[in-house]
Amino acid sequence: MAIKIQKWDPDRHCYEPHPYPSEWNVGFFSTDLDEFINCAQCGKKLPYGDAFTSRELYNGSGMFAMAICPKCHEAEWKREKERRKKR
Ligand SMILES: [Zn+2]
């Protein structure tokens, strides 16, 4: 089951489609924290237990944030801080 991912554009306040390779196993919820998923940003494999919640990527309905790796989480946080500085 492929999840549709959309990316929140904070400057334009709208979502944009965020395509990813079909072999990636992306996700936003799992009861099995040992299951391996791909980071929805960079594709890095990691167990759900180590994943962070994205501030930029959401599922098709926009209700759930995608799981991402710690590195991308840090990058998202930096981007957000930069944006706040500009205001
Ligand atoms: Zn990543």
pLDDT in tens, the chain (87 residues): 578 999 999 889 999 999 999 999 999 877 788 999 999 999 999 999 999 999 999 999 888 999 999 999 999 999 999 999 987
Quick check: 4 and 20 in contact, CB under 8 A?
A: no
Distance of CA 5 from the midpoint of ligand 1 (Å)? 14
Quick check: 38 and 67 in contact, CB under 8 A?
A: no
pLDDT at 75: 97
Please give the model's pTM, rounded to 2 decimal places: 0.89
Domain ranges of the chain: 5-86
Distance of CA 79 from the midpoint of ligand 1 (Å)? 14
d(CA 78, CA 15): 20
d(CA 48, CA 33): 5
Quick check: 6 and 26 in contact, CB under 8 A?
A: no
Tell the residue number behind the tokens 């957000």, with chain if given. 80
